[in-house]
Amino acid sequence: MPSCRPRSSVGRALLSAQPGKTLTLLASGSSPVVLSLLAFLISSVCEVRRAATATLQTLGQVDSSPFHPTIDRLLSTTEELIADLNSAR
């Protein structure tokens, strides 16, 4: 099985172009965006996990988000999150 190669993230690119107000709204507790990205972290496809972490990096810049501490903690282990889940079994 091929390894997960670094690629650009469309989600990260789209969010990087958004104004701060939009990012704040997307990272808020009432938005499903962060919760959806967190769910993608358990995907069996490493490219999906890589895209989710890249997108979370952009939303992690929103200090007022209730998810900020969680995102911050998860992003400190990005490589472990992206690593092939099958190799850990």
Q: Cβ(43)–Cβ(49) under 8 Å?
A: yes
Q: What is the pLDDT of residue 19?
A: 93
Q: What is the pLDDT of residue 1?
A: 45
Q: What is the pLDDT of residue 70?
A: 95
Q: What is the pLDDT of residue 87?
A: 58
Q: What DSSP letter does each residue of the chain carry, written as one string?
A: ---------HHHHHHHTS-HHHHHHHTSTT-SHHHHHHHHTT-S-HHHHHHHHHHHHHHTT-TT-TTHHHHHHHHTTHHHHHS-GGGG-
Domain parsing of the chain, residue ranges: 10-88
Q: What is the pLDDT of residue 79?
A: 87
Task: Tell me the whole-structure pTM to 2 decimals.
Answer: 0.82
- Mean pLDDT per segment of 10 residues, for the chain of length 89 residues? 63 87 95 95 90 92 95 91 67
